[in-house]
Amino acid sequence: MSGAACNIARYLPEMAARQPDALAIALPHRGADGGYHELTYRQLDTESDLVAHALVAAGITRGTPTALMVKPGPDFFALTFAMAKVGAVPIVIDPGIGLSNIKTCLAEAEPEAFIGIRAAQAARLLLGWGRPTLKHLLTVGGRAWFGGTSLATARRRVGEDAGPFPIADTRSDETAAILFTSGSTGVPKGAVYTHGNFAGQVETLRRISGVEPGEIDLPTLPVFALFDPALGMSTIVPDMDPTKPASVKPAKIFEAIQRYGVTNMFASPAVLGVLARDGVARGVTLPTLRRVVCAGAPVQPAIMDRFLSMLSPDARIVTPYGATEALPVCAVDSREILQPEVRERTASGGGVLIGRPLDEVEVSVIRIDDGPIETWSDDLRLPDGEVGEIVVRGDVVTEQYRNRPDSTRLAKIRCTDDGIAHRMGDLGYIDDEGRLWFCGRKSHRVQTGDATLYPIPCEMIFNVQPAVHRTALVSVERGGEITPVLCVELDPDARDADRATVESQLMALGAKHATTRSIREVLFHPAFPVDIRHNAKIDRPALGRWAQGQLR
């Protein structure tokens, strides 16, 4: 095995030795008392050691591809840290992608072990998930009615006094996890993470966030909690359904922030919008919150303004840019995004500022090409200011998809030094200050007979209309020609607005810019379809099919 020794699990015992009685994680009780179950770093480290011994006893060892289907809770976090200590390879799939998609993902991932709650084990048995490759089954939260053994039984077999688990000396180029994309921009694909990828992410996140040891984190996407020991933070798991982030109950989030003095929060734009609207309406203030990391889709400046009004003057919203296959790539914070000249550029069709490329990442913009690019050439690069596809290299970039050679060929470019460049599938350009601006997905551009329209620059022009929550540009085929159509979702406070007036005002906005003058069709939609992970990325293909039906 080549590469330097590297295992993200080492940070947990280091924290347990440094501050054993400090809070590591607080998890909400599911009862009516609204309390939290708390674990210190010593307790979490000891618990994950015991679970690691139990995994090995159950046949799950270093390198074992293991499907993990457990709800966020004490067992989930103990298992994830235990799997890292063992060197097993977790396979993580969003449950909301649908049963048939889960079966497809598991068939591609080829798991040898399946760790799941009883409902997941029942679905596995009934629907044949992973049947050809599974060898080891471990049920969490009950008896092993569906084969294999239970976590409780495996723990009893090794005994409570099993002692510290020797962390696997995994190497930087060794597979660490298979993380499936959400499917919001196509069929879910399993990005193969190495231990080196995780190490690169930790160091990059440490630098761009400015997090200091002893801070308190509230991640509304549970997987981000796994970085907290490496960053020296305590984790407060919010009382919410992580599979439906836009349905978050603001009062529960505010209560957790105030109870624990949370200093750092991760939230998608959908969650941030809900919290901002409710918090401002009720006069909520969150003086301990220093920063909000917001990712998953572009954040509208109006939402930033509203949420920042609840925080102390020196607080900020950081918006990293990246994807499951490469994260983070760039970062920018609210102090720059909300500058008048940046807001004006966005509102005039300049796209969304996503920041300067990080020192650890090399970013290029290349000419738009829908086919594979086998090898890198500097001739692919476009001059600054021209819109093209964003391509990245660096330690945070994954090199392949699990058992998806065609997808790997489309997304990866082999470089002359044997490195890999990842094609983000996003469009953008680099300005004269070296900053990257986002213009939307490559697959979402609208190509009419005489022009190419990029979705984000167009939509930001229309989004300034006060009654509008968000817009989405899609294409409709009529009479053999492509027509650009603007779909509009009204703001919740403006659902009763006169639509003819709103449409007239939108057309007036569009007429001011060459970018949007050709957009003459407007359709109002009650609630845009969105991705399952963040509830923030608009499902434009689904919206396009809806628009096609409306304009027949």
Q: How far, in Å, CA of 56 to CA of 51, rounded?
A: 9
pLDDT of residue 30: 67
Residues near 133 by beta carbon (within 8 Å), at least 6 away in sequence:
110, 111, 112
Q: Encode burial over 484-515: b for 16+ CB neighbours within 10 A, e otherwise.
A: bbbbbbbeeeeeebeeeebbebbbebbeebeb
The arithmetic mean of pLDDT across residues 265-287, rounded, is 96
120's tokens? 């997941």
pLDDT tens by residue, 313-357? 999 999 999 999 999 999 999 999 999 999 999 999 999 999 999
Q: How confident is the model at residue 503 (pLDDT cuts 50, 70, 90)?
A: very high
User: pLDDT value at position 534?
Assistant: 85
pLDDT bin (cut points 50, 70, 90) of residue 420 is very high
Q: Is the pLDDT of residue 238 over 80?
A: yes
Question: Which residues partner with 272 through β-bridges?
Answer: none
**Bigger pLDDT: 3 or 396?**
396
Residue 383 backbone phi and psi in degrees, to 5 = -65, 155
Contact 226, 251 (CB under 8 A): no
3-state secondary structure 237-248: CCCCCCCCHHHC
Q: Which pLDDT belongs to residue 552?
A: 75
Residue 1 has pLDDT above 50, yes or no: no
Q: Are residues 377 and 422 in contact, defined by beta-carbon separation less than 8 angstroms?
A: no
Percent of the chain scoring above 70 in pLDDT: 98
pLDDT at 484 exceeding the cut of 90? yes
Selection from 105, 142, 141 nearest residue 124 by Cα: 105
| Non-local CB neighbours of 48 within 8 Å, separated by 6+ positions | 12, 77, 78, 79, 81, 82, 85, 165
**Residue 451 pLDDT greater than 70, yes or no:** yes
Average pLDDT score over residue span 286-308: 94
Per-residue pLDDT reduced to its tens digit, 198-235: 999 998 988 888 898 899 999 998 888 889 999 999 99
Split at pLDDT 50, 70, 90, the class of 416 is confident
All domains of the chain in start order, with CATH:
8-197 (3.40.50.980), 451-550 (3.30.300.30)
The mean pLDDT value for 64-76 works out to 95
In this structure, the dihedral spanned by the alpha carbons of residues 541, 546, 548 and 550, taken in order and rounded to 10 degrees, is -160
Is residue 428 pLDDT above 80, yes or no?
Answer: yes
Note the pLDDT of residue 33: 63
- pLDDT tens figures, 79-116: 999 999 999 999 999 887 888 899 999 999 999 999 99
Length of the chain measured in residues: 552
pLDDT given for residue 479 in this prediction: 85
Q: What is the band of 32 on the pLDDT scale with cuts at 50, 70, 90? A: low
Which of the four pLDDT bands, split at 50, 70 and 90, describes residue 536? confident
Dihedral over Cα of 69, 71, 75, 77: its sign = positive
Mean pLDDT taken over the chain: 94
H/E stretch holding 12 reads helix 11-18
Q: At what angle do helices 41-57 and 74-86 cross, to 10 degrees?
A: 60
Distance CA 343, CA 335 (A): 11
Residue 510 predicted with pLDDT over 70: yes
